[in-house]
Amino acid sequence: MKRIIPLFIISFFVICSQANAQFEQIKDSVVQLYGVVMTADSLQAIPSVSITIKGGRRGTITNDQGVFSIVVMKGDKVEFTSIGYKPKLVEVPRDIEGNQYSVVQLMVTDTQYLPATIIRPRPTREQFERDFVNTQIPDDDLEIARRNTDEQTRRALMNILPADGREAANYTLRKQAQRYSYAGQTPPINLMNPVAWAEFIRAWKRGDFKSKK
């Protein structure tokens, strides 16, 4: 027991010293990167520029004045991207003295030429209706449309597809309204309700109660 205590104390101090050395190494590698992003031709601030660490999950955006600030590591590659400008990749120097580094990043406009689009209005409504009715649709597209709008297909998709936000909200509100309307009393039993029986018969004919394999 007397030998274990000194060994434990020595191991504790060794572990603490190693952790402290590792912390100092990481602390020396952390850099506060800040600066401003501007256009290369007119030196105008660019707001909402995405600034991300390449290969990482951290990032930020510039404010209305094009100013940004982000914590990086020495040697990280920082990517600047914005719609309408060419992306820019900047590497943080490894020989920075201290833990702060400022940049003035210039971005060049990325010009893209789109093909010309000619919009021609229909002369009359009658001509539009005539062209719409006489439009030739391939048979395969019609068959795909028939299969997609088939009642059995729609019911199968309704059972497997999750409800969207609007449907889920409406369902929750209906349940809450039903619970609040019968608060403090026993809910009615639909055993003698003809509307409920009619809905039950329709669901039975549709096959809603069949087991799904």
Q: How much is the pLDDT for 62?
A: 94
Q: Where in the chain is the domain with CATH 2.60.40.1120?
A: 4-107
Q: Does domain 4-107 have CATH number 2.60.40.1120?
A: yes
Residues of the chain with pLDDT under 70: 1-27, 122, 209-213
- Beta strand pairing status for 67-73 and 77-82? unpaired
What gap in Å lies between CA 109 and CA 112, rounded to an integer? 10
Helix (H, G, I), strand (E, B) or coil at 34: strand
Q: How much is the pLDDT for 26?
A: 54
Q: How much is the pLDDT for 3?
A: 55
pTM of this structure: 0.45
Residue 162 token pair: 């999750």
Quick one: residue 4, left, alpha or beta (phi over 0 = left, psi -120 to 50 = alpha)?
alpha
Helix (H, G, I), strand (E, B) or coil at 69: strand
Q: How much is the pLDDT for 120?
A: 77
Q: How much is the pLDDT for 132?
A: 82
Phi, psi (5° rounding) for residue 206? -70, -20
Strand order in the sheet with 30-39: 67-73, 30-39, 100-107
